Amino acid sequence: MTALLSSIEKGISAKLKEKDVEIENMNRKNRELAERIKQVAIEAQSWHYRAKYNESVVNALRNNLQQAISQGVEQGKEGFGDSEVDDDASYIDPNNFLNLPGAPINSTHKTYQNAENLTCRACKAKAVSMLLMPCRHLCLCKDCEGFINVCPVCQLIKTASVEVYLS
């Protein structure tokens, strides 16, 4: 009977040791998970602060843009190009569409003396047909207009575009 009890005790003792090892492993994994949760919480807080910062930058830029637009309206300036040279570079005189070389140049606006100035500023192959807003530069073909978000002449962000039919 004692031999039977001692063999049962050894079996139970071995099982208890296995369970103690399992408990130790579970506790170690639990500590690792708790540490990982702390790291993820810190990272989430960092992303939250970064998002708040970016939101404040966006609001400041939006306010600056609204002020710039309102100042442009107050000044009554046509277009928003960086300079008059940029505005003149996109001008096409409808009465003098293709100037021949040697013809007199209009003193108020730059006239186009060759077909190169009527080509798309992006692909340099097709004829211009898209008027960009708000800068009003006629500088892109219909195919390139869909892929470009910034005016190639004045670098202003394009808000809309209108197809122009030159005849």
Output 93 or 13, whichever has higher pLDDT: 13
Q: What would the pLDDT profile of 100-147 be if each residue is shown by its tens digit?
A: 444 444 444 444 445 557 889 989 889 899 999 989 999 999 999 888
The percentage of residues in the chain with a pLDDT greater than 70, rounded to a whole number, is: 72
The domain made up of 78-167 is a member of CATH 3.30.40.10: yes
Distance CA 119, CA 129 (A): 9
Distance CA 142, CA 126 (A): 9
Q: What would the pLDDT profile of 71-89 be if each residue is shown by its tens digit?
A: 776 655 555 555 555 555 5
The dihedral over CA atoms of 65, 146, 81, 58, expressed in degrees to the nearest 10, equals 20
Residues 49-81 as b or e (16 or more Cβ within 10 Å = b): eeeeeeeeeeeeeeeeeeeeeeeeeeeeeebbb
